[in-house]
Amino acid sequence: MKSLGCPQLPALIDDSNDLLVFTPGHFLIGDRLTAIPQINVQDTPPNRLSCYNWFQAMTQHYWKRWSNEYLESS
């Protein structure tokens, strides 16, 4: 079924026996998203964080602050 004004989705595979799951990543980047999602460590006490997790917490903190202050004021 084709809607007016909407392009038809292309076939992902040529062989109907090869099953490939169509994910949101196909819409975004044309392929599967393979990155492992990051856990939210922003509310974890600092004494329980490793160096890597501390860096991730700081990154999440600054991203949240920047997106709240900069993006909402634009």
What is the domain partition of the chain in residue ranges? 36-71
Are 33 and 14 contacting, i.e. CB atoms less than 8 angstroms apart?
no
**pLDDT of amino acid 54:** 85
The ranges of the chain with pLDDT < 70 are 1-20, 35-36, 74
**Residue 57: Cβ within 10 Å count:** 17
Query: What pLDDT shows up at residue 45?
Result: 79
d(CA 7, CA 1): 11
State the average pLDDT for the chain.
74
What phi and psi, each to the nearest 5 degrees, are found at residue 36? Answer: -80, 130
Q: What is the pLDDT of residue 61?
A: 92
First to last CA, the chain: 41
